[in-house]
Amino acid sequence: MMSLTEKFADMRAGVDALAAMGRNPFDIRFERILSSTVALLNGRPMLLLGTNNYLGLTFDAACVAESVRALQESGTGTTGSRIANGTYSGHALLEQQIADFYGRRSAMVFTTGYQANLGLISTLARREDHLLIDADSHASIYDASRLGAAEVIRFRHNDPEDLARRLRRLEGRPGDRIIVTEGIYSMLGDTAPLREIAAVKREMGACLIVDEAHSLGILGEHGRGLCEAAGVEADVDFVVGTFSKSLGAIGGFATSDLAGFELLRTVCRPYMFTASLPPAVIASVSASLARLASDSSLGALVVANSRKLYCGLAQAGFALGPEPNPIVAVKMPDRETAVRFWNRLVEEGLYVNLALPPATPGSLSLIRCSVSSAHTETQIERAVSIMTSIGRELRILQRAIATARAAG
Protein backbone atom coordinates (compact mmCIF):
# COMPACT_ATOMS: atom_id res chain seq x y z
CA MET A 1 0.00 0.00 0.00
CA MET A 2 1.11 3.55 -0.74
CA SER A 3 2.25 5.26 2.48
CA LEU A 4 -0.32 7.52 4.12
CA THR A 5 2.14 10.39 3.98
CA GLU A 6 2.34 9.99 0.20
CA LYS A 7 -1.35 9.34 -0.20
CA PHE A 8 -2.36 12.51 1.63
CA ALA A 9 0.66 14.62 0.71
CA ASP A 10 -1.45 17.56 -0.53
CA MET A 11 -3.48 17.69 2.63
CA ARG A 12 -0.44 17.42 4.81
CA ALA A 13 1.22 20.30 2.97
CA GLY A 14 -1.93 22.38 3.48
CA VAL A 15 -2.11 21.67 7.21
CA ASP A 16 1.64 22.19 7.67
CA ALA A 17 1.39 25.56 5.92
CA LEU A 18 -1.47 26.57 8.23
CA ALA A 19 0.38 25.41 11.35
CA ALA A 20 3.51 27.30 10.25
CA MET A 21 1.53 30.53 10.45
CA GLY A 22 0.86 30.06 14.18
CA ARG A 23 -1.06 27.03 15.33
CA ASN A 24 -2.88 24.17 13.66
CA PRO A 25 -6.57 25.17 13.60
CA PHE A 26 -7.56 21.49 13.36
CA ASP A 27 -5.77 20.62 16.59
CA ILE A 28 -7.10 23.00 19.21
CA ARG A 29 -7.23 21.18 22.57
CA PHE A 30 -9.10 22.78 25.43
CA GLU A 31 -7.71 21.59 28.76
CA ARG A 32 -10.83 22.46 30.69
CA ILE A 33 -14.26 23.77 29.85
CA LEU A 34 -15.07 26.28 32.57
CA SER A 35 -18.57 27.23 31.41
CA SER A 36 -20.58 27.35 28.19
CA THR A 37 -18.66 30.50 27.17
CA VAL A 38 -15.16 30.08 28.66
CA ALA A 39 -12.50 27.33 28.35
CA LEU A 40 -8.84 26.97 29.21
CA LEU A 41 -6.40 26.74 26.30
CA ASN A 42 -2.68 26.45 27.06
CA GLY A 43 -3.47 27.50 30.62
CA ARG A 44 -5.27 30.68 29.53
CA PRO A 45 -9.00 31.38 29.63
CA MET A 46 -10.53 31.74 26.17
CA LEU A 47 -13.80 33.43 25.39
CA LEU A 48 -15.72 30.89 23.29
CA LEU A 49 -17.40 32.45 20.28
CA GLY A 50 -17.34 29.51 17.91
CA THR A 51 -19.04 26.55 19.57
CA ASN A 52 -22.67 26.38 18.29
CA ASN A 53 -23.79 26.37 21.94
CA TYR A 54 -26.62 28.69 20.93
CA LEU A 55 -28.74 28.41 24.06
CA GLY A 56 -25.80 27.88 26.41
CA LEU A 57 -27.36 24.70 27.83
CA THR A 58 -24.24 22.52 28.14
CA PHE A 59 -23.96 23.30 31.87
CA ASP A 60 -27.67 23.80 32.55
CA ALA A 61 -28.39 22.39 36.01
CA ALA A 62 -31.50 20.43 34.99
CA CYS A 63 -29.80 18.94 31.90
CA VAL A 64 -26.74 17.90 33.90
CA ALA A 65 -28.86 16.44 36.76
CA GLU A 66 -31.03 14.42 34.34
CA SER A 67 -27.95 13.21 32.54
CA VAL A 68 -26.24 12.07 35.76
CA ARG A 69 -29.41 10.34 36.93
CA ALA A 70 -29.70 8.43 33.64
CA LEU A 71 -26.02 7.54 33.70
CA GLN A 72 -26.33 6.06 37.17
CA GLU A 73 -29.60 4.30 36.46
CA SER A 74 -28.85 2.90 33.00
CA GLY A 75 -25.08 2.88 32.53
CA THR A 76 -22.64 4.54 30.19
CA GLY A 77 -23.85 3.18 26.86
CA THR A 78 -26.48 1.04 25.16
CA THR A 79 -23.89 -1.14 23.38
CA GLY A 80 -26.28 -1.79 20.55
CA SER A 81 -28.19 -0.35 17.61
CA ARG A 82 -31.75 0.93 17.71
CA ILE A 83 -33.05 -2.15 15.94
CA ALA A 84 -31.35 -4.58 18.35
CA ASN A 85 -30.85 -3.86 22.05
CA GLY A 86 -30.26 -0.09 21.74
CA THR A 87 -33.80 1.24 22.14
CA TYR A 88 -34.59 2.07 25.78
CA SER A 89 -37.82 3.69 26.84
CA GLY A 90 -35.95 7.04 26.95
CA HIS A 91 -35.24 6.89 23.21
CA ALA A 92 -38.90 6.27 22.43
CA LEU A 93 -40.06 8.97 24.87
CA LEU A 94 -37.68 11.50 23.31
CA GLU A 95 -39.05 10.65 19.87
CA GLN A 96 -42.56 11.31 21.13
CA GLN A 97 -41.38 14.57 22.72
CA ILE A 98 -39.84 15.72 19.41
CA ALA A 99 -42.97 14.76 17.44
CA ASP A 100 -45.13 16.66 19.97
CA PHE A 101 -42.85 19.70 19.85
CA TYR A 102 -43.21 19.87 16.06
CA GLY A 103 -46.89 18.87 16.09
CA ARG A 104 -46.12 15.90 13.86
CA ARG A 105 -47.05 12.27 13.96
CA SER A 106 -43.61 10.63 14.23
CA ALA A 107 -39.94 11.21 14.90
CA MET A 108 -36.77 9.15 14.69
CA VAL A 109 -33.68 9.79 16.81
CA PHE A 110 -30.25 9.22 15.23
CA THR A 111 -26.82 9.04 16.82
CA THR A 112 -25.66 12.31 15.20
CA GLY A 113 -27.18 15.10 13.15
CA TYR A 114 -24.87 14.04 10.34
CA GLN A 115 -26.42 10.57 10.39
CA ALA A 116 -29.95 12.01 10.45
CA ASN A 117 -29.33 13.69 7.09
CA LEU A 118 -27.30 10.79 5.78
CA GLY A 119 -29.99 8.30 6.77
CA LEU A 120 -33.18 10.11 5.87
CA ILE A 121 -32.04 11.57 2.55
CA SER A 122 -30.18 8.51 1.25
CA THR A 123 -33.10 6.24 2.15
CA LEU A 124 -35.70 8.41 0.44
CA ALA A 125 -33.54 9.04 -2.64
CA ARG A 126 -34.14 5.81 -4.54
CA ARG A 127 -33.33 4.86 -8.11
CA GLU A 128 -35.44 6.90 -10.60
CA ASP A 129 -35.91 9.65 -7.99
CA HIS A 130 -34.38 13.12 -8.30
CA LEU A 131 -32.67 14.78 -5.38
CA LEU A 132 -32.46 18.58 -5.60
CA ILE A 133 -29.98 20.05 -3.15
CA ASP A 134 -28.86 23.62 -2.54
CA ALA A 135 -25.29 24.17 -3.78
CA ASP A 136 -24.21 25.39 -0.31
CA SER A 137 -25.55 22.30 1.49
CA HIS A 138 -23.78 20.87 4.52
CA ALA A 139 -21.40 17.94 3.96
CA SER A 140 -23.95 15.54 5.50
CA ILE A 141 -26.40 16.38 2.70
CA TYR A 142 -23.73 15.95 0.04
CA ASP A 143 -22.66 12.63 1.57
CA ALA A 144 -26.31 11.51 1.71
CA SER A 145 -26.64 12.24 -1.97
CA ARG A 146 -23.68 9.96 -2.67
CA LEU A 147 -25.09 7.18 -0.53
CA GLY A 148 -28.54 7.41 -2.14
CA ALA A 149 -29.33 6.04 -5.59
CA ALA A 150 -31.22 9.03 -7.01
CA GLU A 151 -30.03 11.48 -9.64
CA VAL A 152 -28.48 14.44 -7.81
CA ILE A 153 -29.19 17.95 -9.05
CA ARG A 154 -27.66 21.01 -7.39
CA PHE A 155 -29.56 24.28 -7.59
CA ARG A 156 -28.03 27.72 -7.06
CA HIS A 157 -27.81 28.69 -3.41
CA ASN A 158 -31.08 30.14 -2.11
CA ASP A 159 -32.44 30.51 -5.65
CA PRO A 160 -36.05 29.22 -5.95
CA GLU A 161 -36.21 30.22 -9.62
CA ASP A 162 -33.21 28.07 -10.46
CA LEU A 163 -34.82 25.26 -8.47
CA ALA A 164 -38.08 25.64 -10.42
CA ARG A 165 -36.19 25.70 -13.72
CA ARG A 166 -34.37 22.48 -12.88
CA LEU A 167 -37.60 20.81 -11.77
CA ARG A 168 -39.33 21.82 -15.01
CA ARG A 169 -36.55 20.09 -16.97
CA LEU A 170 -37.61 16.84 -15.28
CA GLU A 171 -41.16 17.02 -16.63
CA GLY A 172 -42.33 13.70 -18.00
CA ARG A 173 -39.68 11.70 -16.18
CA PRO A 174 -40.71 9.18 -13.54
CA GLY A 175 -39.63 9.30 -9.90
CA ASP A 176 -40.04 11.51 -6.85
CA ARG A 177 -38.59 15.01 -6.72
CA ILE A 178 -36.98 15.56 -3.33
CA ILE A 179 -35.85 19.06 -2.40
CA VAL A 180 -33.40 19.59 0.48
CA THR A 181 -32.71 22.94 2.05
CA GLU A 182 -31.41 24.28 5.36
CA GLY A 183 -32.98 26.78 7.76
CA ILE A 184 -29.93 28.89 8.60
CA TYR A 185 -26.86 28.07 6.48
CA SER A 186 -23.87 27.07 8.53
CA MET A 187 -21.14 29.15 6.93
CA LEU A 188 -22.65 32.56 6.15
CA GLY A 189 -25.60 32.42 8.58
CA ASP A 190 -28.11 33.30 5.87
CA THR A 191 -31.66 31.88 5.86
CA ALA A 192 -33.32 30.02 3.01
CA PRO A 193 -36.16 31.79 1.10
CA LEU A 194 -38.44 29.08 2.40
CA ARG A 195 -41.80 30.59 1.40
CA GLU A 196 -40.70 30.72 -2.21
CA ILE A 197 -39.15 27.25 -2.08
CA ALA A 198 -42.36 25.88 -0.53
CA ALA A 199 -44.36 27.49 -3.37
CA VAL A 200 -42.12 25.74 -5.94
CA LYS A 201 -42.52 22.48 -4.03
CA ARG A 202 -46.34 22.79 -4.13
CA GLU A 203 -46.42 23.73 -7.81
CA MET A 204 -44.16 20.84 -8.80
CA GLY A 205 -45.60 18.24 -6.45
CA ALA A 206 -42.21 17.64 -4.86
CA CYS A 207 -41.22 16.48 -1.39
CA LEU A 208 -39.47 19.03 0.87
CA ILE A 209 -36.88 18.31 3.57
CA VAL A 210 -35.60 21.16 5.77
CA ASP A 211 -32.53 20.80 7.96
CA GLU A 212 -33.05 23.10 10.97
CA ALA A 213 -29.64 22.30 12.54
CA HIS A 214 -28.81 25.97 13.16
CA SER A 215 -32.34 27.35 13.54
CA LEU A 216 -33.96 25.10 16.16
CA GLY A 217 -34.55 27.15 19.30
CA ILE A 218 -33.69 30.35 17.49
CA LEU A 219 -36.23 31.11 14.78
CA GLY A 220 -40.03 30.96 15.06
CA GLU A 221 -42.30 32.02 17.91
CA HIS A 222 -41.99 28.61 19.56
CA GLY A 223 -38.41 27.97 18.47
CA ARG A 224 -39.34 25.37 15.84
CA GLY A 225 -37.06 27.02 13.30
CA LEU A 226 -37.35 28.66 9.91
CA CYS A 227 -40.32 26.50 8.85
CA GLU A 228 -42.31 28.03 11.71
CA ALA A 229 -40.95 31.56 11.20
CA ALA A 230 -41.80 31.44 7.48
CA GLY A 231 -45.25 29.93 8.14
CA VAL A 232 -44.68 26.94 5.85
CA GLU A 233 -44.68 24.00 8.26
CA ALA A 234 -47.60 22.37 6.45
CA ASP A 235 -45.55 22.30 3.23
CA VAL A 236 -42.52 20.66 4.80
CA ASP A 237 -42.59 16.87 4.65
CA PHE A 238 -39.58 16.21 6.86
CA VAL A 239 -37.75 18.36 9.38
CA VAL A 240 -34.23 17.25 10.27
CA GLY A 241 -32.23 18.59 13.18
CA THR A 242 -29.39 18.03 15.57
CA PHE A 243 -28.98 17.85 19.33
CA SER A 244 -25.41 19.16 19.10
CA LYS A 245 -26.14 22.86 18.85
CA SER A 246 -29.11 24.52 20.64
CA LEU A 247 -29.73 21.38 22.69
CA GLY A 248 -26.14 21.22 23.91
CA ALA A 249 -25.42 17.49 23.47
CA ILE A 250 -25.07 15.13 20.52
CA GLY A 251 -27.50 13.29 18.26
CA GLY A 252 -29.98 14.05 15.52
CA PHE A 253 -33.58 13.56 14.51
CA ALA A 254 -36.04 13.54 11.67
CA THR A 255 -39.74 14.20 12.14
CA SER A 256 -42.68 13.90 9.77
CA ASP A 257 -46.42 13.60 9.45
CA LEU A 258 -46.25 11.13 6.60
CA ALA A 259 -47.91 7.77 7.06
CA GLY A 260 -45.39 4.97 6.86
CA PHE A 261 -42.57 7.01 8.37
CA GLU A 262 -41.99 4.22 10.92
CA LEU A 263 -40.97 1.90 8.07
CA LEU A 264 -37.76 3.89 7.69
CA ARG A 265 -36.52 2.22 10.87
CA THR A 266 -35.98 -1.00 9.01
CA VAL A 267 -34.49 0.36 5.78
CA CYS A 268 -32.39 3.32 6.87
CA ARG A 269 -28.81 2.07 7.17
CA PRO A 270 -27.27 4.98 9.15
CA TYR A 271 -30.03 4.39 11.71
CA MET A 272 -29.79 0.61 11.76
CA PHE A 273 -26.07 -0.09 11.65
CA THR A 274 -24.71 2.06 14.44
CA ALA A 275 -25.05 2.10 18.20
CA SER A 276 -27.78 4.26 19.71
CA LEU A 277 -27.24 7.31 21.88
CA PRO A 278 -26.29 6.66 25.51
CA PRO A 279 -29.06 7.19 28.11
CA ALA A 280 -27.26 10.19 29.63
CA VAL A 281 -27.40 12.02 26.30
CA ILE A 282 -31.06 11.12 25.74
CA ALA A 283 -31.90 12.43 29.22
CA SER A 284 -30.08 15.75 28.82
CA VAL A 285 -31.59 16.32 25.36
CA SER A 286 -35.04 15.62 26.74
CA ALA A 287 -34.44 18.20 29.50
CA SER A 288 -33.06 20.82 27.10
CA LEU A 289 -35.93 20.32 24.65
CA ALA A 290 -38.43 20.67 27.51
CA ARG A 291 -36.72 23.92 28.50
CA LEU A 292 -36.71 25.21 24.94
CA ALA A 293 -40.39 24.32 24.48
CA SER A 294 -41.52 26.06 27.67
CA ASP A 295 -39.20 29.08 27.77
CA SER A 296 -38.63 31.36 24.81
CA SER A 297 -36.33 33.69 26.76
CA LEU A 298 -33.11 31.88 25.74
CA GLY A 299 -34.02 32.14 22.05
CA ALA A 300 -34.77 35.86 22.46
CA LEU A 301 -31.42 36.37 24.22
CA VAL A 302 -29.37 34.66 21.53
CA VAL A 303 -31.13 36.72 18.85
CA ALA A 304 -30.39 39.95 20.80
CA ASN A 305 -26.75 38.93 21.35
CA SER A 306 -26.36 38.07 17.66
CA ARG A 307 -27.63 41.51 16.64
CA LYS A 308 -25.26 43.16 19.10
CA LEU A 309 -22.24 41.29 17.71
CA TYR A 310 -23.32 41.80 14.10
CA CYS A 311 -23.93 45.56 14.51
CA GLY A 312 -20.69 46.06 16.45
CA LEU A 313 -18.63 44.33 13.77
CA ALA A 314 -20.47 46.05 10.92
CA GLN A 315 -19.86 49.45 12.52
CA ALA A 316 -16.19 48.61 12.89
CA GLY A 317 -16.05 48.12 9.12
CA PHE A 318 -15.96 44.35 8.72
CA ALA A 319 -17.71 42.72 5.78
CA LEU A 320 -20.25 40.26 7.17
CA GLY A 321 -22.71 37.60 6.07
CA PRO A 322 -26.09 39.01 4.98
CA GLU A 323 -28.17 38.50 8.16
CA PRO A 324 -27.67 39.04 11.90
CA ASN A 325 -28.27 35.42 12.88
CA PRO A 326 -26.33 33.50 15.59
CA ILE A 327 -23.77 32.55 12.95
CA VAL A 328 -21.91 35.76 12.22
CA ALA A 329 -19.50 35.26 9.33
CA VAL A 330 -16.72 37.81 8.98
CA LYS A 331 -15.39 37.89 5.41
CA MET A 332 -11.62 38.13 5.19
CA PRO A 333 -9.90 39.66 2.17
CA ASP A 334 -7.87 36.49 1.52
CA ARG A 335 -6.85 33.16 2.99
CA GLU A 336 -3.57 34.32 4.47
CA THR A 337 -5.14 37.26 6.27
CA ALA A 338 -7.87 34.99 7.63
CA VAL A 339 -5.26 32.65 9.12
CA ARG A 340 -3.25 35.55 10.59
CA PHE A 341 -6.40 37.17 11.97
CA TRP A 342 -7.55 33.91 13.55
CA ASN A 343 -4.14 33.31 15.17
CA ARG A 344 -4.12 36.82 16.62
CA LEU A 345 -7.65 36.31 18.01
CA VAL A 346 -6.52 33.12 19.75
CA GLU A 347 -3.49 34.94 21.17
CA GLU A 348 -5.84 37.61 22.55
CA GLY A 349 -8.07 34.98 24.18
CA LEU A 350 -10.93 34.78 21.66
CA TYR A 351 -11.87 31.44 20.10
CA VAL A 352 -13.78 31.54 16.79
CA ASN A 353 -13.85 29.18 13.81
CA LEU A 354 -11.51 29.59 10.89
CA ALA A 355 -13.38 28.52 7.75
CA LEU A 356 -11.43 28.24 4.52
CA PRO A 357 -12.12 27.03 0.97
CA PRO A 358 -13.11 24.44 -0.14
CA ALA A 359 -15.33 24.19 2.98
CA THR A 360 -16.84 27.62 2.33
CA PRO A 361 -19.25 28.95 -0.29
CA GLY A 362 -17.84 31.12 -3.07
CA SER A 363 -14.25 30.31 -2.05
CA LEU A 364 -14.55 32.80 0.81
CA SER A 365 -12.11 32.86 3.71
CA LEU A 366 -14.17 33.37 6.83
CA ILE A 367 -13.91 33.97 10.53
CA ARG A 368 -17.07 32.28 11.70
CA CYS A 369 -18.51 33.33 15.04
CA SER A 370 -21.39 31.56 16.76
CA VAL A 371 -23.26 33.44 19.44
CA SER A 372 -24.87 32.05 22.58
CA SER A 373 -27.65 33.27 24.86
CA ALA A 374 -25.12 32.63 27.64
CA HIS A 375 -22.79 35.37 26.39
CA THR A 376 -22.95 38.43 28.59
CA GLU A 377 -23.09 41.91 27.14
CA THR A 378 -19.54 42.42 28.38
CA GLN A 379 -18.34 39.29 26.56
CA ILE A 380 -19.91 40.42 23.28
CA GLU A 381 -18.39 43.88 23.69
CA ARG A 382 -15.02 42.32 24.44
CA ALA A 383 -15.23 40.15 21.32
CA VAL A 384 -16.05 43.19 19.16
CA SER A 385 -13.23 45.15 20.74
CA ILE A 386 -10.62 42.37 20.24
CA MET A 387 -11.69 41.81 16.64
CA THR A 388 -11.70 45.51 15.87
CA SER A 389 -8.25 46.18 17.28
CA ILE A 390 -6.78 43.21 15.39
CA GLY A 391 -8.67 44.32 12.29
CA ARG A 392 -6.93 47.70 12.61
CA GLU A 393 -3.57 46.08 13.32
CA LEU A 394 -3.81 43.98 10.15
CA ARG A 395 -5.22 46.98 8.24
CA ILE A 396 -8.16 45.03 6.97
CA LEU A 397 -11.08 47.17 8.02
CA GLN A 398 -10.88 49.47 5.01
CA ARG A 399 -10.13 46.55 2.73
CA ALA A 400 -13.06 44.72 4.28
CA ILE A 401 -15.35 47.66 3.49
CA ALA A 402 -14.02 47.80 -0.07
CA THR A 403 -14.62 44.06 -0.46
CA ALA A 404 -18.18 44.48 0.81
CA ARG A 405 -18.81 47.29 -1.71
CA ALA A 406 -17.31 45.29 -4.55
CA ALA A 407 -19.59 42.38 -3.62
CA GLY A 408 -22.52 44.77 -3.99
Ligand X SMILES: Cc1ncc(COP(=O)(O)O)c(C=O)c1O
Binding site residues, ligand X, CB under 6 A: 112-114, 117, 138, 140, 182, 186, 211, 213-214, 242, 244, 252
The minimum distance between CB 317 and ligand X, in angstroms, equals 28
The minimum distance between CB 81 and ligand X, in angstroms, equals 17
The closest of 53, 35, 51, 34 to 43, measured between CA atoms, is 34
Number of other residues whose CB lies within 10 A of the CB of residue 179: 27
- At 115 the three-state DSSP class reads helix
Residue 82 or 344 with smaller CB distance to ligand X: 82
Residue 88 or 243 with smaller CB distance to ligand X: 243
Residue 244 or 256 with smaller CB distance to ligand X: 244
CA distance 269 to 230: 32
Residue 209 or 396 with smaller CB distance to ligand X: 209
Work out the angle at residue 226's Cα, subtended by the Cα atoms of residues 190 and 150, and round it to the nearest 5 degrees: 85
Residue 58 or 112 with smaller CB distance to ligand X: 112
The minimum distance between CB 54 and ligand X, in angstroms, equals 12
The minimum distance between CB 124 and ligand X, in angstroms, equals 16
DSSP 240-290: EEESSSTTSS--EEEEE--TTGGGGGGT-HHHHSSBPPPHHHHHHHHHHHH
Residues 243, 107: contact at Cβ < 8 Å? no
- At 205 the three-state DSSP class reads coil
Residues 204, 188: contact at Cβ < 8 Å? no
The minimum distance between CB 351 and ligand X, in angstroms, equals 17
Q: Which residue is nearest to ligand X (CB)?
A: 113
Residue type, 183: G
The minimum distance between CB 143 and ligand X, in angstroms, equals 10
DSSP 219-236: SSTTS--HHHHTT-GGG-
The minimum distance between CB 117 and ligand X, in angstroms, equals 6
The minimum distance between CB 251 and ligand X, in angstroms, equals 7
Residue 113 or 217 with smaller CB distance to ligand X: 113
- At 400 the three-state DSSP class reads helix
Per-residue CA distances from 310 to 62, 116, 212 (Å)? 31, 31, 21
Residue 236 or 384 with smaller CB distance to ligand X: 236
- At 154 the three-state DSSP class reads strand
Residue 252 or 391 with smaller CB distance to ligand X: 252
Residues 245, 54: contact at Cβ < 8 Å? yes
